[in-house]
Amino acid sequence: MNNMLTIVAMLLAATFLFHSAINYMADNISDFENVALPPKKPKKTVSRFSMIKVDATSKKGWALLDFTSGKTHKIGDLEQSQKLISELNWDVGFRRTSMITNGGETNPKGNVGVVNLGPHTLEEIKEAPKDGYVQDKAKWGSLKNGALKDWYIYRTRTHNIESKKNVYVIRTQDNEYVKMRVLNYYCQQEEKNCATSMCSRDEAACITLEYMKQPNGVRTFPSPTPIAQIEKQASGKH
């Protein structure tokens, strides 16, 4: 009898605690609604090629990327930085959605030119074109490279940027060849998330590139590293 009374008392106590918790939540539901969900952790992109994220967030300055060293140089206004532009080692410059190259009217002493091969994967491009490399020209008061100027899609409904995933072959300042593709325009979000909803302007213009450089001056690109080997290296396994 005593055991039965104990069990009944425990059930009543548990029921009381459960209803008390429900009532508390109902009375304070606004507190729960205002707690922001933790941000989604960006999915780490695994590529068989080299990858780099270029900070192109400045609206006035440029980030000049050198594919040989993998380094970027920060400069200000182009007209005021002409001496630096001609002295620094760089191939492609980035500012928000704009891209320039180290050649043509941006730098008459530069050698860089670009061929747009259209929407492909990097694996599909086995060899750099022999000719057809486009250099920068001045148009309507600004410098542009005709091969790079339409690299993205502008989403009019959400006002966001999405790469066309074109492959560009670049003849570098060192007279070597790089094949390059823009994977993402955002710092923390994936482009597919921004195609259907507004992404913050504060996190735009961190341009993620995948690329392969052929360092021997020949036009044939080597085979990329197998994904299994990349994942093994990333996990620290030998």
Q: Using CA atoms, how far apart are residues 186 and 207, in angstroms rounded to an integer?
A: 7
Taking only the tens place, the pLDDT of each residue in 70-128 is 999 999 999 889 999 999 999 999 999 999 999 999 999 999 999 999 999 999 999 99
Same domain assignment for residues 101 and 218:
yes
pLDDT in the model for residue 229: 59
pLDDT at 46: 59
Whether 29 shows a pLDDT value over 70: the answer reads no
5: helix, strand or coil: helix
Q: Please indicate, yes or no, whether residues 131 and 168 belong to a single structural domain of this protein.
A: yes
22 and 133 part of one domain = no
- Structurally, the chain folds into a number of domains equal to 2
Q: Please report, as a single letter, which amino acid is at residue 166.
A: N
Task: Give me the mean pLDDT over the 6-18 stretch.
Answer: 62
Tell whether 44 is covered by a domain.
no
- Residue 210 in domain: yes
The per-residue pLDDT for range 52-63, each reduced to its tens digit, is 999 999 999 999
Q: Let me know whether 29 and 80 are in one domain.
A: no
Same domain membership, residue 121 and residue 14: no
For residue 59, report the phi and psi dihedrals to the nearest 5 degrees: -90, -10
On whether residue 137 sits in a domain, the answer given is: yes
Determine the average pLDDT of the residues in 40-50.
Answer: 64
DSSP string of 49-114, one letter each residue: SEEEEEE---SS-EEEEETTTTEEEEE--TGGGHHHHHHS--SEEEETTEEEESSTTT-TT---EE
The predicted structure's pLDDT at residue 7: 64
pLDDT tens, residue by residue, 168-219:
999 999 999 999 999 999 998 888 887 777 777 777 899 999 999 998 889 9
Say whether both 139 and 213 belong to one domain: yes
Residue-by-residue DSSP string for 103-170: STTT-TT---EEEEEEE--GGG--B--SS--B-EEEETTEEEETTTTT-EEEETTTTEEEE--EEEEE
Are 118 and 73 in a shared domain? yes
Classified as helix, coil or strand, 182 is: strand
Identify whether 96 is part of a domain.
yes
User: Are 11 and 102 members of one domain?
Assistant: no
Residue 19: pLDDT above 60? no
Residue 39 predicted with pLDDT over 50: no
Q: pLDDT of 136-154, one tens digit each?
A: 999 877 899 999 999 999 8
13 and 127 inside one domain: no
Task: Note whether 15 and 64 are same-domain residues.
Answer: no
Whether this model's pTM surpasses 0.85? no
Note the pLDDT of residue 232. 56
Same domain, 29 and 56: no
Task: Tally Cβ neighbours within 10 Å of residue 95.
Answer: 19
89 and 69 in contact (C-beta within 8 Å)?
yes
Q: What is the pLDDT of residue 199?
A: 76
Domain range for residue 21? 2-33
Q: Cα(78)–Cα(98) distance, rounded to whole angstroms?
A: 13
Return the pLDDT at 31: 40
pLDDT digits 0-9 by tens, 65-80: 999 999 999 999 998 8
* pLDDT score, position 49: 92
Do residues 25 and 66 share a domain? no
Residue 27: is its pLDDT beyond 60? no
